[in-house]
Amino acid sequence: MFLRVALPTPLRRLFDYLPPLDESAESISKLKAGCRIAVAFGPRPMVGILIEVAHISEIAKDKLRPALNILDREPIIPVASLDLFKWAADYYHHSLGDVLQNALPAWLRQVDRQDIDSQAGLQITATGRDTDPSSLKSAKKQAALLSLLQHSDQPLTETDIIQHGFARNIINGLLEKQLIQSVRLPLAYSHSVVFGEPLKLNQEQQLALDTISKGAHCTLLAGITGSGKTEVYLQAIESSIKQGKQALVLVPEIGLTPQTLQRFEARFGPCVKLIHSACSDGERLATWLAAKDGAASIIIGTRSAIFTPLAKPGIIIVDEEHDASFKQQDGFRYSARDLAVVRAAQESIPVVLGSATPSLESLANVKAGRYQIAKLNQRAGNANPPVMRTIDLRHQKLNNGFSPESLFALRRCLDKGQQALVFINRRGYAPVLMCHDCGWYAQCQHCEARMTTHLRPAHLHCHHCDNQQRLPNSCPSCRSRQMVLIGQGTERSEEALQAEFPHVDVLRIDRDTTSRKTAMSEMLDQIQQGKPCIMVGTQMLAKGHHFPKLGLVLILDADGGLFSADFRGPEKMAQLLIQVAGRAGREDLAGEVLIQSHQPDHPQLQLLLQRGYFHFASELLQLRQVQQLPPATAMAMVRVSANKQDSPEAFLEEVILKADQLNQTGIKLMGPLPAPMPKRAGKFRAQLHIQANNKSILKNFLNVFVGLLETTKGKDQLHWSLDVDPIDMF
Ligand code: ADP
Ligand code: ZN
Ligand code: ZN
C-alpha cells in the first residue's frame, strides 16, 4: 500500500510514500483521506495531507521513502472541505498541496507542534458580579469589560475578549482587582446563542428574506446602501441557527470593523467567532476547531474564512460581494466569493451575495438565470438617499484641489452642526515632486513609477515596492531649490482643510494614520460623538461605516476612474462613488454628495448619477458583450517577471509558439504584452492574456496549457503565475 499525499509545494501533483515502518497493514488500510502525515520532502520534514491509500504507484517501490509519522487516525479535514479544496485546485490550476497550505490553520501544518487542548478564558467573580461598573470611573475600558462579563452567564475566551478591543492591560487590571478570574476552556469552545429582538422587516426586506429561505441556491441581494441588507442577513442567519445549523459570513478586509461585530453580537450575543489576518495561530486553530465541531454557530471572517469547515452548514453570506479583497492577488489566486457559491452548491445550502453595487459578474449570472435576485430599493427606517451632483472644475481657481463651491458647501455643512467626509484615493502629501527649473522628478529606482511625497514624517515613498528615501532639499539634477509638489494626497488635503477651517477637527483616515492598532477605533469613537468635523480619507472610509451625523460627502476627483487603462475602471469607479456616497444621509439627515470633475458631462458619469447604478451596470454589461470581455467571456492571465528586461517576453513567445499545437477553438491568446507597470520592485514584467468563449473552454485549454508553462525553461530568475478570472490587470 502507498500513501498518496498532497504537500505544500507549488508542484501540481501528489506524492507517494510507503507507510511508516512500524505501521501494520491493517491500520494503514483504515486510514481515510484528510489525515495528516509527516513525511520527509528532500531534506525537510513536512506535513502532508493524505488524499488516498493507493495500491499502485507509478514510482518503483525501492525509490519510495517511508512516511515519518501518521499524525491523525481520523481525518482532521472533513470530506466536504476536501471536496472544496480539490475543486479549487482544479479550477485555478493550482497545486492541491498549496491550496491546503492556504486553507488550513498554520498550527495544523507544523511537524513538531505541541498538542494543545485548552485555551485561556475569563469569568466574573462573586465580587465582580456585585460591583457597579460605573464605580470604576477612571478606567472606562475596564468598566466596559466588567459589564461585558457580568452580562455573560458563561466564561468568555481571552481571544473573544481581545477581539472586542480589550487590550491585555485592561484584562490584567480587572484580574488584579479580583473582579474577574482566569479559567481554562476547551479549544472548541463557544457560547450558546441568545436571540435579540429582530426588527420588523419592511415589505421589500420580507420579500428578500422569503426569496432566500425558499432555499434556491444563490440569491443576489441588491440593496442600496442603508436599505437594511444586514437586517435581512441577521434574520436569515437566525432561522438557520434555529434549525441547529451554522452560518458563515464573509466580509471585505476593511469591512470587519468593530461596528460590524457589534451588530451581530447585539442580536446573537458573544457566540460570534471572528477570523481575519491579524488572528494569531492559536486563535485561528481554536475558531477552526469550534467551527468544525459545530460548537460555533456564527463565523465571520475575511477572504480565507471561506475554507473554515462547518459540521452543520446552514447558510453562507458574502457581504459587499463586489469587493476586490475577496480575490487573493498572489500565490493561490482564488476568489472567496466564487468559492462561496461553489461551496454552497456542494453542501446544498443557500448562499447570499449582498451589495449596493453588485459586480457585473453577479449581475450577468442573474441575467442568465443562475442566481435569483432580491432588490431593496428604499432606505430602511426614515433615512433618505443622498442627492448627488457634479462640480465643474474647469476654469475654477482651485485651493489645493478644492473648488470654491466645494469649500462653500463644506462650510455650510459644518455650520449646520453636521459632519463632512472628503474622499481622495491617494495617501501622502503629493504624488509628484518636480524641479521647476529642469523638470527632474522623483522616480523610484526599482519601479517605473513616481515616488509619493510624504511630509509627516518627511520622506519619499514608492507605493508599489515600499522603497523609501530622504526628501531632497534641492534638485538632485541641477541643484535648484525650486522644488514643486504636484497633485493632491490625503496629507495635503488635511493641511488645506485645517487652514481653511481652523476651529474644526480634521481627521485624516488612511493607512498611515491607522497603522497603530487602536487608532482607527479611537477616531471612529470620536466621530460617533457627533461633533462637527471633517474626515479626510481613502477608500478605508468607503465601506461598512455608519456615520449618523454625516451630511456631506465630497469626492475630490472622479476623473481617474473614467480614464483608467483597466477595462474594469468604470465599474470600479461607479462602485466606489456609490459606496462613498452611501455614507451620507443615513438616519434622518438628507445627505449631499458632490463630485469634482473636469468632465462633469461625461456620459458614463451622467448615466450613473441620473439613472443609478443598475442602469449604468446594465449598459456596461452590453459593452462587455460587444468587446468580448468578461463576464461575457472567460479570461485568464499569465504574469511573468524576471531580472533581465527581455526574458519575460522571450519566455512567453516560446510558450505561445508551443501552444500553436494545442486545440485553440474558442481561445484567443494576446501577448506578450508589457505589464501596465513594466518594471516593479526591480523586476521586469510582461503578461499574456487568455480569452475564451466560456469557462469550460478556458478550463480545458488551461489543463494542457499549464503543462507548457511548467516545462518551459525561463532565464534570469524568471517567475510566472497563472490568474484565472483576474480582476486586477496589474
Ligand atoms: P445596509 O446594510 O443595506 O447598508 P443597514 O442594515 O446598515 O443597511 O441598515 C441601515 C439602517 O436601517 C440601520 O440603522 C438599521 O438598524 C436600520 N434598519 C434596517 N432594517 C430596518 C427595519 N426593518 N426597520 C427599521 N430600521 C431598520
Ligand atoms: Zn532641477
Ligand atoms: Zn518602487
Quick: pLDDT tens for 583-607.
886 666 778 999 999 999 999 899 9
Q: What is the pLDDT of residue 193?
A: 74
| Of 418 and 563, the one with more pLDDT | 418
Q: What is the pLDDT of residue 274?
A: 87
Q: Cβ(223) to ligand 1 under 6 A? A: yes
Q: Which atom of ligand 1 is nearest to the CA of 223?
A: 3
For the ranges 132-146, 303-317, 671-685, the maximum mean pLDDT occurs at 303-317
pLDDT class of 144 with cuts at 50, 70, 90 = confident
* HSE, side-chain direction, 13 A CA sphere, residue 536: 26
Ligand number nearest to the C-alpha of 357: 1
The residue contributing the CA closest to ligand 1 atom 20 is: 228
- For residue 157, the Cα-to-chain-centroid distance in whole angstroms is 26
Q: What is the pLDDT of residue 113?
A: 63
pLDDT of 356 strictly over 90: yes
Q: Cβ(225) to ligand 1 under 6 A? A: yes
Q: How far is the CA of 487 from the centre of ligand 2 (A)?
A: 19
Q: What is the pLDDT of residue 637?
A: 96
- For residue 445, the Cα-to-chain-centroid distance in whole angstroms is 30
Q: Cβ(229) to ligand 1 under 6 A? A: yes
| Of 35 and 160, the one with more pLDDT | 35
User: Looking at the DSSP assignment, which residues form a beta bridge with residue 553?
Assistant: 421, 593
Alpha-carbon dihedral 279, 283, 285, 291, rounded to 10 degrees? -100
Q: What is the pLDDT of residue 588?
A: 65
The tens digit of pLDDT for each residue in 640-666 reads 999 999 999 999 999 999 999 988 899
Q: Cβ(231) to ligand 1 under 6 A? A: yes
Portion of the chain with pLDDT greater than 90, in percent: 64
pLDDT of 36 strictly over 70: yes
Cα(235)–Cα(233) distance, integer angstroms: 6
Cβ contacts of 514-521, under 8 Å, gap ≥ 24: 514/540, 518/165, 518/167, 520/257, 521/165, 521/258
Burial bucket for residue 666 (CB in 10 Å: 0-12, 13-18, 19+): middle
Mean pLDDT, to the nearest integer, of 533-556? Answer: 87
The tens digit of pLDDT for each residue in 444-487 reads 999 988 999 999 899 999 998 899 999 999 999 999 999 999 99
Instruction: Give the residue among 723, 648, 651, 646 at the shortest CA–CA distance from 689.
Output: 723
Name every residue whose Cβ is closer than 8 Å to that of residue 179 and which is 6 or more positions away in sequence: 124, 125, 127, 128, 131, 146
Q: How many C-beta neighbours within 10 Å does residue 195 have?
A: 11
Which residues of the chain does CATH 3.30.70.600 include? 634-724
Q: What is the pLDDT of residue 486?
A: 92
Q: What is the pLDDT of residue 542?
A: 77
Instruction: Give the residue among 160, 183, 180 at the shortest CA–CA distance from 172.
Output: 180
Q: What is the pLDDT of residue 560?
A: 77
In order of 31, 259, 559, 676, the CA distances from 566 in angstroms are 49, 33, 14, 9
Ligand number nearest to the C-alpha of 440: 2
User: Looking at the DSSP assignment, which residues form a beta bridge with residue 186?
Assistant: 118
Q: Cβ(380) to ligand 1 under 6 A? A: yes
The SS3 of residue 131 is: coil
Cβ contacts of 467-475, under 8 Å, gap ≥ 24: 469/442, 471/433, 472/442, 475/435, 475/437, 475/438, 475/440
- State the cell numbers at 530: 457627533
- State the cell numbers at 550: 454625516
pLDDT class of 305 with cuts at 50, 70, 90 = very high
Instruction: Report whether CATH 3.40.50.300 matches the domain 203-375.
Output: yes
Q: What is the pLDDT of residue 378?
A: 86
The tens digit of pLDDT for each residue in 687-709 reads 999 999 999 999 999 999 999 99
Cα(712)–Cα(709) distance, integer angstroms: 5
CB of 549 within 8 A of CB of 589?
Answer: yes
Which residues of the chain does CATH 3.40.50.300 include? 203-375, 387-427+489-625
Q: How far is the CA of 482 from the centre of ligand 2 (A)?
A: 8
Q: What is the pLDDT of residue 255?
A: 65
Ligand 1 pocket: which of 197, 207, 231 to mutate (most atoms <8 Å of CB)? Answer: 231
Instruction: Write down the CATH number for the domain with range 634-724.
Output: 3.30.70.600
Q: Which fold has domain 387-427+489-625?
A: Rossmann fold (3.40.50)
DSSP 8-state assignment for residue 430: B
Instruction: Give the residue among 592, 545, 609, 616 at the shortest CA–CA distance from 320.
Output: 545
Cα(50)–Cα(36) distance, integer angstroms: 6
pLDDT of 567 strictly over 80: yes
What's the whole-number average pLDDT of the chain?
90
Q: At what angle do helices 603-611 and 613-627 cross, to 10 degrees?
A: 140
| Of 277 and 90, the one with more pLDDT | 90
The tens digit of pLDDT for each residue in 314-351 reads 999 999 999 999 999 999 999 999 999 999 999 999 99
* HSE, side-chain direction, 13 A CA sphere, residue 358: 28
- State the cell numbers at 558: 472622479
For residue 144, which phi and psi values (nearest 5 degrees)?
-65, -40
pLDDT of 187 strictly over 80: no
Mean pLDDT, to the nearest integer, of 407-427? Answer: 94
pLDDT of 544 strictly over 80: no
Kindly report the pTM of this predicted structure. Answer: 0.90
The dihedral built from the CA positions of residue 90, 91, 97 and 100, taken in this order, carries a sign that is negative
Burial bucket for residue 4 (CB in 10 Å: 0-12, 13-18, 19+): middle
The tens digit of pLDDT for each residue in 364-403 reads 999 999 999 999 998 877 667 788 899 999 999 999 999 9
Q: How far is the CA of 435 from the centre of ligand 2 (A)?
A: 5
Mean pLDDT, to the nearest integer, of 670-680? Answer: 90
Q: Cβ(679) to ligand 1 under 6 A? A: no
Cα(286)–Cα(98) distance, integer angstroms: 22
Q: What is the pLDDT of residue 200?
A: 92
Give the CATH class of 2-109. Answer: alpha beta
The residue contributing the CA closest to ligand 1 atom 5 is: 228
Which residues of the chain does CATH 3.40.1440.60 include? 2-109
SS3 content of the chain, % helix, strand, coil (to 5): 35, 25, 40
pLDDT class of 215 with cuts at 50, 70, 90 = low
Q: Cβ(647) to ligand 1 under 6 A? A: no
| Of 688 and 111, the one with more pLDDT | 688
Cα(77)–Cα(167) distance, integer angstroms: 33
Cα(674)–Cα(679) distance, integer angstroms: 9
Cα(535)–Cα(526) distance, integer angstroms: 11
Instruction: Give the residue among 245, 249, 275, 242 at the shortest CA–CA distance from 263.
Output: 249
The dihedral built from the CA positions of residue 390, 393, 399 and 405, taken in this order, carries a sign that is negative
pLDDT of 291 strictly over 90: yes
**Nearest-5° angle of CA 216, CA 83, CA 114?**
125
CB of 556 within 8 A of CB of 421?
Answer: no
pLDDT of 521 strictly over 90: no
pLDDT of 259 strictly over 80: no
Q: What is the pLDDT of residue 300?
A: 94
Mean pLDDT, to the nearest integer, of 524-533? Answer: 90
